[in-house]
């Protein structure tokens, strides 16, 4: 079975996302977390373009600050769309509750993008994927119990697939890794199908 660690034995993750770190570690990679802060405000019209440019912005900011880099560096970004409305990270528990109530019994789309710098060829690769997620019907008590765990914090749409929320999901149409935060098949394709990039 192909694992990213064959090509990326050690990688710098320019992100605080525990989900992205877990995905890379499950691929056998040794992950060095070295997140940076940058201005994520932008005016891109499409969600695909927005999430892709945010991932690229994070990577380019990292590269500009760190200068000499000998290890591969990856960054990512995730946004959610519900009825053509972008759902980001909640800034309060009330906002998180509102997001989860809006998802209840509904289908939404998760967009995750990556930007990967390979120092050997000094190239940046990027890509974006989307996956549809349908929630079961959730009542306020169920949501309130979930919110007590604080798992909603720093998560697009106030949930992480690898945490307790997984049991409240009725259906996933697409790549599970995209929902967690990195579209692994697209990243793998850089090494297995280089002619496609």
| Catalytic residue from among 34, 37, 39, 77 | 77
CA distance 48 to 66: 27
Give the tokens for residue 158. 């106030």
Q: Locate tokens 């697209």: which residue? A: 186
Query: 164 an active-site residue?
Result: no
Closest by CA position to 4, among listed 22, 26, 27: 27
Partners of 87 in beta bridges: 80
Pair of tokens at residue 29 = 């990679």
Q: Which residues pair with 79 in a beta bridge?
A: 111
Active-site residue set:
77
């Amino acid at each position: 079975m192909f694992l990213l660690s064959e090509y990326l034995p050690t990688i710098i993750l320019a992100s605080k996302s525990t989900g992205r770190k877990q995905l890379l570690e499950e691929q056998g990679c040794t992950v060095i977390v070295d997140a940076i802060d940058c201005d994520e405000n932008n005016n891109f019209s499409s969600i695909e373009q927005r999430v892709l440019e945010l991932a690229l912005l994070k990577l380019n900011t990292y590269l500009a600050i760190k200068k000499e880099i000998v290890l591969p560096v990856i960054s990512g970004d995730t946004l959610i769309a519900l009825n053509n409305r972008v759902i980001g990270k909640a800034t309060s528990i009330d906002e998180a509750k509102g997001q989860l109530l809006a998802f209840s019994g509904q289908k939404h789309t998760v967009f995750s993008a990556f930007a990967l710098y390979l120092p050997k060829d000094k190239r940046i690769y990027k890509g974006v994927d989307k996956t549809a997620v349908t929630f079961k019907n959730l009542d306020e008590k169920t949501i309130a119990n979930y919110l007590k765990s604080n798992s909603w914090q720093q998560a697009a749409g106030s949930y992480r697939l690898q945490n307790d929320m997984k049991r409240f999901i009725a259906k996933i149409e697409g790549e599970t890794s995209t929902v967690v935060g990195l579209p692994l098949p697209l990243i793998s394709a850089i090494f297995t199908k280089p002619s496609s990039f």
